[in-house]
Amino acid sequence: MAQDCSPPGDRAELDRIVDYRGRFDLSRRRYLVLGGGQGMGRQVSHALAQIGATVIVVDLDRDRADHVCAEIGPAATAEQVDATEDADMAALAERAGELDGVVDVIGMARYAPLLDITDDDWRWEEGIVLRHAVLALRHFGARLRDRGEGSITFVSSVSGLGSSPVHAAYGVYKAALGSLVRSAAIELGPSGIRVNAVAPGFVVTPRISAILDSAALENTRSQIPLQRLTLPADVASALTFLVSDLARTITGQVMVVDGGATNKYPYDMSGF
């Protein structure tokens, strides 16, 4: 059923205090999380389930998806899919059935100086950063359009908003993702579909914590105005807000979640 986008009828409607808790309640809603088997995807899968949603946890690694579903319980089911393959995503959309939204957290970087980036590097980065987003919009956007409402929310990066050494390929495709979000918001908005992204700065994922020592983490923390490192749960919190009805008129936006780091000038991303 399409959402009611008509203007308020009278002053009483404008003065009415809304049920804000209700706007954050996702009971009786179904969401699909691409890349839900670890890190930010695991956290946002838990977050959505905790506020009432049922969740389809999708990952390239079935064991990871199964593990997250076991943590969550009956509200979650697992799917193993290569989100960069068109046929796989089409089949996933068919199996998933009616959804209220999709959260896509897939992404990874290969850092290299611009002149050293190979054709294989460019193709790999395009697939892991952008192609799955295009396919998510193609297959799930069409279903949400037919339904008349919903949301699609991505994870971008501050690397798509600024430049720094060795981030060229990653930054190019994250910048393209931001443009895709804006285009999708314009085209799908009349169908009641909101499209947004969260752009984290440096995030202490399990993979990062395994390769950086405490001194490197402290050096990064010291560059952040809030003096606080961003965790996967912080990104998941922003994603959950954008999914909820608290953000019902927010679309086409890339929300920065970086402790204020991009407000500094000069802002050096090389340490990230």
* Encoded tokens for 42: 């695991």
Domain-by-domain residue ranges, the chain? 19-263
- Among 53-57, 74-78, 114-118, 206-210, the least confident range: 206-210
Strands in 30-34's sheet, in edge-to-edge order, are 76-80, 54-59, 30-34, 101-104, 150-155, 193-200, 254-257
Class of domain 19-263 as given by CATH: alpha beta
| Residue ranges with strand state E in 111-236 | 150-155, 193-200
How far is Cα 253 from Cα 76, in angstroms, rounded to an integer?
28
Over the stretch 228-262, which tens digit does the pLDDT of each residue have? 999 999 999 999 999 999 999 999 999 999 999 99
Residue 221 pLDDT exceeds 50:
yes
Residue pair 105/198 in contact (Cβ under 8 Å)? The answer is: no
The SS3 call for residue 121 is helix
* Active-site residue list: 170
Residue pair 15/80 in contact (Cβ under 8 Å)? The answer is: no
Residue pair 195/251 in contact (Cβ under 8 Å)? The answer is: yes
